[in-house]
Chain A
Amino acid sequence: MELLDRYLNAVRFWLPPAQQDDIIAELGDDIRTQIEEREATLGRTLDDDDVAVILKQRGHPMLMATRYLPQQSLIGPVLYPVYVMVLRIVLLWVMVPVFVLIVGPIVIATAANPTVGAIQTVWNLAMADVFSLGVITLVFAILERRPLKELANWDPRKLPTVTLMKALPDVRQPIPRATAIAELIFGIICTGVCLQAAWYLGGFNLDVVHIVLAPVWRLVYPLVLLYCVAGIPLGWVGLVWPARIRLRSVIRLAINAIGLIVIGVLAQAGILLTLTSSELSTASLADATHWTSLGVHIFLGAAAIVTFMDMAQEIRRCLTVRW
């Protein structure tokens, strides 16, 4: 019975301590009974190979133990698509441009060897992505355990009218719930990041370089914070009143307007940051400043194009939606 004891011990490892003895005693008795019955049928004692066949039929110890455990998931099927969407936006559409256009040029231009700088940038991007992944997962795990009241106390009379839904193709569709939840969570995360960024307005270190942000950043900071905070009511409106398309469009237009003001002020300012370092030559610092400024301006240009496109879509939506 040594094989059986080893199997039971392996199953025990995966069980909650409070239930281990009880489950193992019952499972052990069940398998022993099966072994005895098999021995009676064959008319001989089972050897290790025979017992191994029986245990293999029972399944891997971990799988056997998980059948006794309650089904658990960190993020359930309702929030999972939104979770993936937020991850894609943050990791792919925020982190990559920031590192490629802003952080990368600084690190590469100030590194002794550009290849080492590039590797360091990729490594920093990977670390930032891992950190973001952890924070986003934590936020969603908390949300998963605190279901929204609206989902429990919903009112059928507040659902979008059929005539509205049928009559509205394309841009006039009610806001998908996943989009609304993504905007809400994205707004919360951006607000948190923006509040934390206030500590770095005076300047911060990146490797051997000290980066001093131009005074214009202090000027636009309240607007950037407002831009982030506004994402929360935007998501909330989409979630609670998915058919109020025009209200949502007006909020989005307001947010985009704030974004354009920020982009315009920053673009006008010229020098957005200065780099200092006691370890680098003036030429290296000038190079780094040049590439970083270029990266920031490309980033601002791309952001402006995206904002204009979004504004055009929202204006079209406002004009075509029926009251």
Chain B
Amino acid sequence: MAQLRVERYGYTLRKSLADAGLEVDEGTLYPLLRRLENQGLLVSEWREENKRNKRFYRLSPDGEAILGQLLDEWQGINSSISKIVQGE
């Protein structure tokens, strides 16, 4: 979701995730994008690029809000796990 603060289409999103060290299978990524869109967290638009129609995704305002909450939650969990691991 954080990668979709900037508009991307599926293939470039997958590439950018892979470059960041997170390999996502396309069979997982596209259905996930659709689910997020059905939940109103993403918006998509078909547009022509390089003489071919592509579906571009970006975060919706609701998606921005949820992403903020998820990041807070993740940071909380991360902090707790760090404390637990360091405590050992």
Contact = CB atoms under 8 A, between A and B. Distances in A.
Contact of B28 (A26, A30, A67): A67
Specify the main secondary structure of chain B where it touches its partner. helix
A34 interface: yes
A32 B30 contact: no
B30 A25 contact: no
B53 A34 contact: no
B27 A64 contact: yes
B34 A68 contact: yes
B21 interface: no
A25 B10 CA distance: 12
A218 interface: no
A29 B52 contact: yes
B73 interface: no
A33 B30 CA distance: 15
A33 B34 CA distance: 20
A51 to B, nearest CB: 16
Contacts of A63: 27
B26 A25 contact: no
B11 A67 contact: no
A223 B55 CA distance: 68
Interface of B: 9-11, 26-28, 30-31, 34, 46, 52-55
Which 5 pairs show the lowest CB-CB distances between chains A and B?
A: A33-B11, A67-B27, A67-B31, A68-B31, A26-B55
